[in-house]
A = this chain, B = another copy of it.
């Protein structure tokens, strides 16, 4: 049986994992693929560094063109990351009739439609199991396993860095900066962690999940995105006292043909299965009309989990290699007209419960003033916590609201933040309890 020859562009962490698996698990992969999967070429600018992989039988060079121009190579693995030059290389590989396997969520979220259309026109596949939630096979599960069902909501913990930080704040009672530093020391956060902690990475992945679940296209910058930088240990503790956990969630719903998509710190019930997803782990919770709720849990990043997801796409391609037309399967698993941009419901129209923390001067009448303003904006208060004053510094008034409209909340907080007694802006966190957690066994 003819071998499947592949070329690897980008020999970083995940690339090293891919090379290790291809070179060290060759017999296993042949049993899974029905043929050899042969790593023929690696292209990277840094070929000096020792990655602990024996490359005797691999041709290495600094030029991705060496992969693109090799007619024997049927698949280019793109692990360069970022938009350019990755995008150009992917388009060139497709033009050369090569399949592409990529973990590049930024590229797919921003230019997926263009790339998928190019691939379909050329009759090649783009494999991207590794682009969302690393080792969790969520792409295939949405495209194939749940293909008969109509998914109507998604809630995902899909950024390991943010989850590690929030999880460590919860478990160790530390503040955000210390936990970020810890994450960096352990290799869970990059030197510049902004894409992770500010939520954009999560929004990229959510855009891909939305494409797979609903067959629509959403631009990642159309997704409301808020990071976790402002969350304090105090909020974590209040959340716990109130029966909640704080997680950076990717949320999406479809209701009456309207789409909702947002990324922000979210309070979820402690008894929800997602609340148990600790450390750098990822999980995607989805609910379908027929299937009901499902959850997928695992490692969302790292050399070997993500490397294994990349190789799973190679196995699929190897299995299908002789099937002329088998490559017609559309990338997102939806046939027909290519999806146009879906209109997202504006964030101001969101209806949610809210946790609010007001750092204020300890003075009579403040509570009444704040609750008065909320009332004027039609926001009804569910409960209030005001603990005794600290030695120094502000007093914090905590409020949980009933369901309120985001627009009203924003307007009310603009007024409250300008009060003379307000020592800092209100910190508010949306509460998500629309997903019924009754089936989770209480601890």
User: Which residues of A are at the interface with B, using a C-beta cutoff of 8 A?
Assistant: 17, 21, 25, 28-34, 129, 135-137, 139-141, 144-150, 167, 170-171, 215, 245, 270, 273, 275-279, 281, 288-299, 302, 304-305, 307-312, 314-316, 319-320, 322-326, 328-330, 333-336, 439-443
Instruction: Establish whether residues B319 and A290, one from each chain, have CB atoms under 8 Å apart when the complex forms.
Output: no
Closest CB in chain B relative to A62 CB, distance in Å: 27
CB contacts (< 8 Å) of A315 on chain B: these are 144, 147-148
Query: Per a CB cutoff under 8 Å, which of B17, B140, B299 touches A145?
Result: B140
Interface-central residue, A275, A281, A308, A328, by most chain B CB under 10 Å? A308
For A136, list chain B residues within 8 Å (CB).
Answer: 294
Q: Is the CB of A335 within 8 A of B141?
A: no
Q: Is the CB of B291 within 8 A of A298?
A: yes
Complex Cα spacing A328 to B276, Å:
41
Q: How far is the CB of A422 from chain B (nearest CB, A)?
A: 33
* CB-CB under 8 A for A145 and B141, given A32-B334, A278-B439, A294-B296: yes
A147 touches B32 (CB 8 A): yes
Bound Cα distance from A325 to B34, whole angstroms: 13
Residue among B31, B135, B311, B316 making CB contact with A336, cutoff 8 Å: B31
**B146 contacts A137, CB within 8 Å?**
yes
Q: A304 near B278 (CB under 8 angstroms)?
A: no
Bound-state CA distance A441–B292 (Å) is 25
Query: Could you jot down 8 A-B contacts, CB within 8 Å?
Result: A135-B290, A135-B294, A144-B315, A147-B312, A245-B441, A291-B304, A294-B298, A323-B326
Question: Given A137-B141, A442-B171 in contact, is the A305-B276 Cβ separation under 8 Å?
Answer: no
Query: What residues of B have a CB within 8 angstroms of the CB of A289 in the complex?
Result: 304
In the complex, what distance in Å separates the CA atom of A440 from the CA atom of B245? 13
Q: Is B25 touching A150 in the complex (CB atoms < 8 A)?
A: yes
Q: Judging by beta carbons under 8 Å apart, are A294 and B297 in contact?
A: yes
Bound-complex Cα distance A250 to B305 (A):
24
A297 contacts across to B, CB distance below 8 A: 273, 293-297
Alpha-carbon gap, A290 to B147, bound state (A): 27
B residues within 8 A CB of A32? Answer: 147-148, 333-335
Contacts of A292 in B (CB 8 A): 135, 298-299, 302, 304-305
